[in-house]
Every structure is written in C-alpha cells, then in structure tokens.
Chains A and B, each alone.
Chain A
C-alpha cells in the first residue's frame, strides 16, 4: 500500500460527481420535465404517437438505459485514468466476505 495525496482521491470523487449531476439533470428533464409540459407537447406527433405519450412510454425509458450504460463506460474510463485495476478490486472485494 502506498500513500497518495488526498487531493488525487478527491479529484476522482469530483469528476465522478460532475458526470452524475449531468446524468440526473437529463433524467429529470425527460421524466418530470416532460410531464410538467405534457399538454403543449401533445400537439406534436412522433412515429404515430402523440409526443408526450411517446416520451412517457418509450423516450424516457430509452434515455434511462443509455444514461446507465454511459455511466458504466465512463466510470471505467475514469477508473483507468486514476490507475485503478479491476483485478485488484476483485481481490479486495472478495476479502470482505471473510469479515463475517
């Protein structure tokens, strides 16, 4: 185990959080935001759907899935940037089963 500067660990945390906030803003807009303005949106159509219905039934859900995969992929990239090795994480993770 080597000691590293806390500022490095904090930079990791901040980077992760910045992305997370972006994801949550998008999440809120496609769900709560669209519902809030459902009436005016209902005048447009998309693939035969009234637009507000499309967002509620398909659009929001598709965005949720994309955000989760983006989070997973970007999370891996950030880990790599800070020199985190998944094999080491697995070793450490498996040790916690013995604490009980």
Chain B
C-alpha cells in the first residue's frame, strides 16, 4: 500500500463519515421531512443541493473529456445542461410549488383528476430515474475500483450500501443537507487542479480568463498537422444534431422528476425562483471550468507528450497507460510519438490532471473524493424520486389511502433499499457507457414529462385523456427513435440517438393538444385549479373570484 493510496482513502472515508453524520442528525421524523425536507430549506443551500444533485459522475469525470474530443460540438452539453434551468424556473418551478404536491406524478394526478395519469407518470418517473441511477452507481464503482484496485463491481456495491444507509435514514431532508456538503467537496475538488494547471501553463491563476488563447493556439497546432481546428463548428455532427441535442438536454432538464422535486423543498414560489438562480450559479462554476480542463489537457498532450521521444515521455503517462486510458504506439518506427499515434479516452482529462500538474497525493485524493461526491449526490436524489413514486404515489395515493404516517415512512425506506440494490445489480453489467445512459434518460424526460408539465401548468383546456396520450406517444416515439438511430442507423437531418428528444417532444405536444381538443374539456374546478397557479400564494382564485389573504 503506497502513501498516495492511504491519503486518498483517508480523505474519502472522512467525507463519507461527514455525509452519514449529516443524515443521522437530519433523521426524517415524518412524511413531510421524508419527501420535501419539511419545506424549510433556504434558497442558497437549496441551490447548492440542486448543484450537487445535478452534477453526476458523468459531469465530473466525463464532460471535460467529451469536450476535448468533440471540440466545439461538445459545447452543446454545456449550453444544454444549463439553459434548461430557465425553462424550469420560469415555466414550472414556482407554479408546481404553489400546487403543494409532494411529487410530479401527484401533481399530474391532481391537475388532471385522473388516477390513470398518476400511475403512468409514476411509472415513467421510475423508469427514467432508475435508468439514470444505473449510470451513477456504475460510475462510483469505477472510481472506487480504480482507487482501491479492486473490482469495479465491488466498488459499486460499496456505493450501494452507503447510499441506502443515508437515503433511507434521512429521506429528502438528509439527502438535501448531505448534498450541500457534497457540493462543497466536489467543487473544491474540481477547481483546485484546473487553477493550478492554468498557473503552470499561462501564469494566470484564473483559468476562465486564460484558456481562450490556448483554444486559438490549439487551432494553430491542428492546422500545422493538417487536421480540422479544435474549435471549428460542426466537425463531429451536423448543425441540426447540435441544435437537437441542445434542445433535448434543455427540455429534459425541465422534465426530470428528481430535479423538479428539488423545488418542492423550498418555502414559497419566490424561494423557488431564487433557488433556480442560485442553483445555476453553483452549477456554472463547474461548467465554466470543464472546457478549460479540456483545452489545457489537450495542449499539454499536444506539446509535451506528442512530439517527444517515446523513451522520454513524462512520468505520469506511464501510470495512465497502465490503466488503459492512454495508449502510445510507434507505428512509423521513428522513436517519436506523433499526435496521431496517441489514443486518449475521455475519462483521463479530469482524473489525470493532478498528476499532470504535479499536485501531490492530497489533491489526487481530493479529486477522487469529489468524483464520489458527484456520483453519490445524484444517486441519492434519484433514489428518493423512485421511492416517492412508489411509496407515495402508488402505495399511499392509490393502494392504501388510510396508511398512517409511520407506515408510509416505512414503505418509503424499504423502497429505497430495494431500488438501490436493484440498480446496483444492473450496474454491475451496464447496458452502455455512462454518458449514453444519461442521454437516454434526458431524451425520455423530454418526450414525456416536459410536454405534460408545460401544458398542464399553462393550458387550462388540457385534459387527462390528452395528457395520457401525450405521455404514452412521447415515450413510444422517443424510444423508437433511439433504437432506430442507434441500431438501425436511421437519422433525420443527421440527428442521432442523443437528439431523439426533439421528435418525442413534438409527438407528445401534438398528441396532447389534438386529443384534449377532441374530447371534453376538464371540469370548471380543475380549470380554476390551473388558473390559481398563475398568482402568488396570497391570491387565491376560486369560482371566478380572486381573494387576497390579509
């Protein structure tokens, strides 16, 4: 056991202890604590929790690498995974908060007065969240596995046990405050290496101001090699694919149940607005930095690694070649490593930076702890979403409305434990790469919940039959396009499986509107319910009149 391993282990265990301690002191005392954190979380902290919930292992480890590989086209992920917060905060969050629901399926059930709609929404929630959480548990398995040099599967099960403990204990309240801690860990872990890299390469400690010139220099280096420039637009896909992907990611943001439920934990509609603003600010700290990581890493690889004698490569390259993420070859036999002879996998960019920049064992351990924080925080939010879809929406609202608070809490806890175990088992042998699985979850959310919620909140005429048609058809079209594009090579305008949400959303909106207009309108009571969501809490709309609480 070398000292680097021990330092990393200590840092990770310290952060794990912190998360469990926070969960224990926030032990859920009732269903209000368990599902909506007692509705008392201040906006700034809620913003941090949303940030941690949002940034998963894929963002932390994978995004910088994706941008390095895709160049300009990778920026669709940056804009797509941030721009959606405007859709969420303007169109949905305050209104859903006023409705007083605990979950998205409950809102759909109440808004449309339909148990069928509630059940379909609960099932969609479970499918989307389960898919997404497989990616997270698989990611945490990889980190733990690489760190301790144990099987990634064993690493996954360790993650499973940990999450089951602190999610079942604290419910939403425990998860939210744990996420605040996880945010701080992950953002410090992400920023420290890139700040040092910026200092070393440009002399400027602010990577966001300094990497612009590096991007241009990379373009020159590419031109000299006869390659297309790093920043050239649409080299990796069509313009339509960029736009479709950006649309899918933005609308998916506003349609993911585990993200939307975060806005139920605040006190008021105003607090919901502020939570959205704080959340994006905290998320942006990472998203501003990812392209900097990409540019600096590529620069180092092109100038210090490529072009060197193979026998004289920097020391850090050897360890990464051993893990299989970096491979060097000498195809032309000249003893020098050309850029084309170097093969890089995405994951290397963030994880290898502390070694590239010579930052020492502490920072290496910190980055590993940060990756774990990112994976665990997202997994926690997802598992609460699954648990609430079953224990609250199906068990309490449909199967046993007379259940006591205690019974509901117990069912909630048991559901978390079972869901975590199942997701962990599937994660041992995942159906695809982490980012791919995550992209499918987004596409499904764009095709099902985004249209259902936007029309549900903003269009009084929308009725239950229309929404059911919309959700089912949206789900079908999205799945069909994903399969057709991925396995059949079928694309429209060059849009691949990750952009499938566009077609799902169009189909869902159309189906919802057509079926709603062809069947009878919702009752006056329901239409009033929708009108009421437009106004702040103090103004209540009922029976054609508005009353203001004094």
The residues of A with any CB-CB pair to B shorter than 8 Å are 1-6, 8-9, 12-13, 20, 23-24, 27, 31-32, 35-36, 38-39, 42, 45-50, 52-54, 56-58, 60-62, 64-65, 67-69, 71-72, 75-76, 79, 82-86, 88-90, 92-94, 96-97, 99-100
Provide the B527-550 mask, 1 if CB < 8 A to any CB of A, else 0: 000000011111111001111111
Instruction: Give residues in B with beta carbon < 8 Å to A.
Output: 31-32, 36, 38-39, 72, 75-76, 78-79, 82-83, 85-86, 89-90, 97, 100, 102, 208-209, 211-216, 219, 231-234, 239, 242-243, 246, 250, 267-270, 273-274, 276-277, 280-281, 284, 287-288, 291, 534-541, 544-550
A52 to B141, CA, bound (A): 37
Of A1, A48, A62, A64, which contacts B549 at CB under 8 A?
A1
Complex contacts, B539 vs chain A, CB 8 Å: 4, 9, 12, 84
Give the 10 A-B CB pairs with smallest separation, nearest first. Answer: A48-B212, A96-B100, A48-B213, A56-B75, A49-B212, A68-B277, A38-B233, A89-B537, A89-B268, A92-B537
| Sample of 8 more A-B contacts, CB < 8 Å, known A88-B538, A93-B267 | A38-B72, A48-B214, A52-B233, A89-B270, A89-B538, A90-B268, A97-B36, A100-B32
* A50, A52, A79: most-surrounded residue (chain B CB, <10 A): A50
Residues of chain B contacted by A76 (CB below 8 angstroms):
270
**Residues of B contacting A: mostly:** helix
- Which of B208, B243, B280 has most chain A Cβ within 10 Å? B280
Residues in A with CB closer than 8 Å to B85 are: 64, 68
Interface of A is mostly: helix
| With known contacts A32-B246, A46-B212, A92–B90 Cβ distance under 8 A | no
- Contacts across chains A and B counted by CB atoms under 8 Å: 186
**Chain B residues, CB < 8 A from A2:** 547-548, 550
Identify B219's interface contact among A50, A82, A94, CB under 8 A: A50
Contact of A99 among B100, B242, B549 (CB under 8 A): B100
What B residues does A3 contact at CB under 8 A? 545-548
Question: Is B270 a contact partner of A47 (Cβ separation < 8 A)?
Answer: no
Query: What separation, in Å, do the CA atoms of A54 and B246 have in the docked complex?
Result: 17
Which residues of the other chain, B, contact A67 by a CB distance below 8 angstroms? 86
Residue of A with least CB distance to B295 = A57
Q: Which residue of B lies closest to A14 (CB)?
A: B534
Write 29 A-B pairs (CB below 8 A) sorted by A numbering: A1-B540, A1-B548, A2-B547, A2-B548, A9-B541, A12-B536, A12-B539, A31-B79, A31-B83, A32-B246, A45-B216, A47-B209, A48-B211, A48-B212, A50-B215, A56-B76, A56-B78, A68-B281, A69-B277, A71-B89, A72-B273, A75-B270, A76-B270, A84-B536, A86-B270, A88-B537, A89-B268, A89-B536, A97-B32
Are the C-beta atoms of A79 and B536 separated by less than 8 Å? yes
